[in-house]
Every structure is written in C-alpha cells, then in structure tokens.
C-alpha cells in the first residue's frame, strides 16, 4: 500500500528591476533588488499571490519614498525560489551516543600552566573530549 505524505515547501520571490529618470537632458539608470519573505506552503495553505504582489509593490514604493523620480523601466529578473521545508520533528530523533550521554561537560576548560590561564583558548566542546589524564600542550608563538 502507498501512503500519501504531506510535505511542505518554502516559496520566496526575488526580482530585479531597472529604474530610470531624466536629469538635465540625461537619463540615469539604477538597478533595484527586491525579495519577499519566505512563505511556508503545504496541503492546508495556498500561495498568497496578492500578498506577494503587495509586498513587492510596497518595496518599490519605499525605493521611491523621497520622490526620487525613478520609474520602473523594465523587470530584469523574476525568480520564484522553491525549497523543501523539512523541520526536525519527533520521527527524526537521533539518540546521542552512550559515551556522550554519560559524559559531563563544564562551561569552560580552564587549564593553568606556569600561572597563565588558557581557558579562553578552548571551546566548550573540548571539555567533552579532554579527560583529567590528557596532557594539554599549547604553542602561543
């Protein structure tokens, strides 16, 4: 038997537009880059095309907020980016190895040699691997 599994995707629209304006018998050209926030789409939600359009419209208005006089000459690129959305959930739990479950970690791995503390040179993860009998050698040259 085949089971239907609902999967989710993320959709984002990215566009590049060319803006022009006339200044003192010359034409200035500027390129503007705009993108929407990623939307999560699955079997229970639909793509909000009106929301995408209004988001891009407001970004273009913000581009011309100080009445710069630029108008859209043409759209150079319009891309719809679709990616898989696979968040971690209960079915994807991977248990930690036994050696890691039984170990204890400290927030710093401070070691003193000749009166100098080298705790700032070690990340927290080293305290998982360093035992009391492990010699630590640091070359500061």
Model confidence pLDDT, tens digit, residues 83-124:
988 776 555 567 778 877 777 765 444 555 555 555 554 444
Residue 41's domain comprises 8-85
Q: What is the mean pLDDT of the chain?
A: 76
Say if 136 falls within a structural domain. no
If asked whether residues 13 and 44 sit together in one domain, one would say yes
69: phi > 0 → left, psi -120 to 50 → alpha, else beta; which?
A: left
If asked whether residues 45 and 75 sit together in one domain, one would say yes
If asked whether residues 74 and 125 sit together in one domain, one would say no
If asked whether residues 53 and 103 sit together in one domain, one would say no
What pLDDT, on the 0 to 100 scale, is given for residue 1?
Answer: 42
**pTM to 2 decimals?**
0.55
Assess contact for 57 and 13: CB atoms under 8 A. Answer: no
Give the span between the Cα atoms of 123 and 77, in whole angstroms. 44
Give the span between the Cα atoms of 120 and 118, in whole angstroms. 6
% of the chain residues with pLDDT over 70: 64
**Total tally of structural domains belonging to the chain:** 2
25: phi > 0 → left, psi -120 to 50 → alpha, else beta; which?
A: left
- Give φ, ψ of 130 to 5 degrees: -90, 125
What pLDDT, on the 0 to 100 scale, is given for residue 4?
Answer: 47
Say if 137 falls within a structural domain. no
If asked whether residues 70 and 121 sit together in one domain, one would say no
Say if 134 falls within a structural domain. no
Mean pLDDT per 10-residue section of the chain, whose length is 141 residues: 63 94 90 93 88 93 82 93 77 72 60 53 50 58 52
Say if 81 falls within a structural domain. yes
Instruction: Give 13's DSSP letter.
Output: E
If asked whether residues 125 and 65 sit together in one domain, one would say no
What pLDDT, on the 0 to 100 scale, is given for residue 95?
Answer: 75
If asked whether residues 80 and 100 sit together in one domain, one would say no
């Amino acid at each position: 038997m085949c089971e239907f599994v609902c999967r989710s995707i993320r959709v984002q629209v990215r566009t590049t537009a060319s803006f022009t304006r006339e200044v003192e018998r010359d034409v200035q050209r500027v390129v503007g880059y705009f993108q929407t926030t990623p939307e999560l789409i699955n079997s229970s939600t639909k793509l909000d095309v009106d929301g995408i359009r209004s988001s891009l419209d407001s970004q273009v208005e913000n581009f011309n907020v100080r009445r710069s006089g630029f108008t859209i000459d043409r759209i150079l690129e319009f891309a719809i980016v679709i990616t898989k959305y696979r968040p971690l959930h209960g079915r994807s739990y991977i248990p930690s190895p036994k050696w890691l479950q039984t170990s204890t970690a400290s927030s710093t791995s401070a070691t003193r040699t000749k009166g100098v503390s080298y705790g700032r040179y070690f990340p927290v993860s080293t305290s998982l691997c360093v035992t009391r009998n492990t010699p630590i050698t640091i070359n500061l040259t």
